[in-house]
Amino acid sequence: SAVISQKPSRDICQRGTSLTIQCQVDSQVTMMFWYRQQPGQSLTLIATANQGSEATYESGFVIDKFPISRPNLTFSTLTVSNMSPEDSSIYLCSVEGAGGRGGYTFGSGTRLTVV
């Protein structure tokens, strides 16, 4: 399965600032997925990032708040903009497994605390 390097692993940010999270995959993948996991909760899909087109956002998530870049088939970034304490979560990127049916691999996650 793909190996994903995600950074930063954690950060503490001031209210009103922005943080960009990076994910690098060791192989080319068509789609990359960005999830949020709030404390004690399960994973919620934020958006799907395709190379060469705009990301597709899930209900409740908007591009102005969570802009995504996908410049090539191995890299993506998620920015959390104008942060508030409610954005404190773990953010995870994910890619589909080999053959499209092998499940999904996750990055190590970014633990974000907004103060």
Partner 1 sequence: QKEVEQNSGPLSVPEGAIASLNCTYSDRGSQSFFWYRQYSGKSPELIMFIYSNGDKEDGRFTAQLNKASQYVSLLIRDSQPSDSATYLCAVQGGNNRLAFGKGNQVVVIP
Binding region for partner 1 (CB under 8 A): 1, 31, 33, 41-45, 48, 56, 58, 92, 94, 96-97, 100-109
Q: 39 preceded by cis ω (within 30°)?
A: no
CB of 16 to partner 1, least distance (A): 27
CB of 63 to partner 1, least distance (A): 17
Between residues 17 and 27, which has the closer beta carbon with respect to partner 1?
27
Between residues 50 and 81, which has the closer beta carbon with respect to partner 1?
50
DSSP symbol at 86: G
Between residues 17 and 104, which has the closer beta carbon with respect to partner 1?
104
DSSP letters, 58-76, are PTT--TTTS-EEEEETTEE
Task: List all residues 6 or more positions away from 87 whose beta carbon is below 8 Å from its beta carbon.
Answer: 80, 112, 114
